[in-house]
Amino acid sequence: MKVEVDGVRVVIDHQPILDGVSLAVGPGEFHALIGPNGSGKSTLLRCLYRALRPATGVVKLGGDDVWADLSARSAARRRAIVAQEHVIDLAFTVRELVLLGRAPHKGMFERDGNQDLAVADDALEQVGMAWAADRVVTTLSGGERQRALLARALTQQAPILLLDEPTNHLDVRAQLELLELARSLKLTTLAALHDLDQAAAVCDGITVLSAGRVVASGHPDEVLTAELIEAVFGVRAVLGIHPLTGRRHVMTALPTDLSHRGPLGLAVPKETT
C-alpha cells in the first residue's frame, strides 16, 4: 500500500510549519524522513495519522484521502504508528497496552479473542519483549516502553508503518535491532530519523525536510551528498561504505569555521565540545 502526500501546508499560530510538502512512498518501501529539529518531520507524520488536519493539500493512504475518504477507524486499519508521545495515564500491563492495537479491528462490545492475544504475543516476541508481557508499563525503562509501543503498532497489522524517531531512548544495540526489524517487516514504512548514518544505511528512499519544505527527495545515493548535508544540517560530512556492513555510511563533524552559515541561512551552533 502506498503513501502519497501532495502539497500539504500546515499553519500553527500563523506560522507555516509545513509549506507545500509533497512526497510518495511506494509499496514495501522503507522511506526515511530527515531534517533538523523543527523542520516539520513530526508534523508531517501527524497529518498522516490523522492527529492534525492540513490547511491545504492531500494525504493519501493506498489511494484514499485520509480526511475525505477514510474514517478514523478505517484509516487506523491502514497505518500504524510509533509516536513520540509516551505519556500513559493508566497502569496497563504491557500485554494490555499491546492489545489496544486491536482496537481498530474490534466492534463496540466485542471481546479480545484468542486470535487477538496470539497477534499481541507474536508482536511482543518480535520486539523481544515477551518476557515483560505482565509487567506494568509505568515500571518500564524508556527503551522498553518504546519497544512495547512498537509491538502495539505491529498488533494493528496495518500495511503502512509510520515511525517518529523510533530509536529515541534506545541503547545502540536496541537501535540497530529496531531498524533491522522495521526493515525486515517489508511494510510501507515512513520513518522520521535523526541519525543520518542509520537513515542512510537502512532506507530505500529518503526525503530531506528543512523549515517545512522538501529540499530533496529520492534514492539515497542521489539525495545524500556532502553539500546537501552541510547546507541543511550545518555539519561537514563524508559519505562512504561502512567497513563492517558494506552499507552506506555518513560521518559528520562540526565545521572548522563556526561563524559560517549554510546557504539556507541555518545557524550553526557556536559552542564546541
Binding site for another protein (CB under 8 A): 12-13, 46, 49-51, 71-77, 79-81, 83-93, 96-97, 100-101, 103-104, 106, 108-109, 136-138, 149, 156, 162
Closest approach, Cβ 134 to another protein, in A, equals 11
CA-to-CA separations, 253 to 96, 144, 231, 235, in angstroms, rounded: 44, 31, 13, 6
Closest approach, Cβ 114 to another protein, in A, equals 17
Closest approach, Cβ 177 to another protein, in A, equals 23
Closest approach, Cβ 196 to another protein, in A, equals 25
**Based on CB atoms, which residue is closest to another protein, 30 or 49?**
49
190 contacts 162 by C-beta, under 8 angstroms: yes
Which residues fall within 8 angstroms of residue 175, CB to CB, at 6 or more apart?
167, 195, 198
Closest approach, Cβ 96 to another protein, in A, equals 6
Distance of CA 192 to the CA centre of its chain: 4
Crossing angle of helices 114-126 and 142-155, rounded to 10°: 140
Closest approach, Cβ 85 to another protein, in A, equals 4
**Based on CB atoms, which residue is closest to another protein, 137 or 190?**
137
**Based on CB atoms, which residue is closest to another protein, 9 or 77?**
77
Distance of CA 100 to the CA centre of its chain: 20
**Based on CB atoms, which residue is closest to another protein, 89 or 271?**
89
**Based on CB atoms, which residue is closest to another protein, 72 or 251?**
72
- How would you classify residue 82: left for phi > 0, otherwise alpha for psi between -120 and 50, otherwise beta? beta
168 contacts 195 by C-beta, under 8 angstroms: no
Query: In DSSP terms, which residues pair with 82 in a beta bridge?
Result: 163
**Based on CB atoms, which residue is closest to another protein, 110 or 222?**
110
The helix/strand/coil state of 26 is: coil
Closest approach, Cβ 176 to another protein, in A, equals 25
Cell of 37: 529539529
**Based on CB atoms, which residue is closest to another protein, 13 or 257?**
13
Query: In DSSP terms, which residues pair with 240 in a beta bridge?
Result: 249
First to last CA, the chain: 45
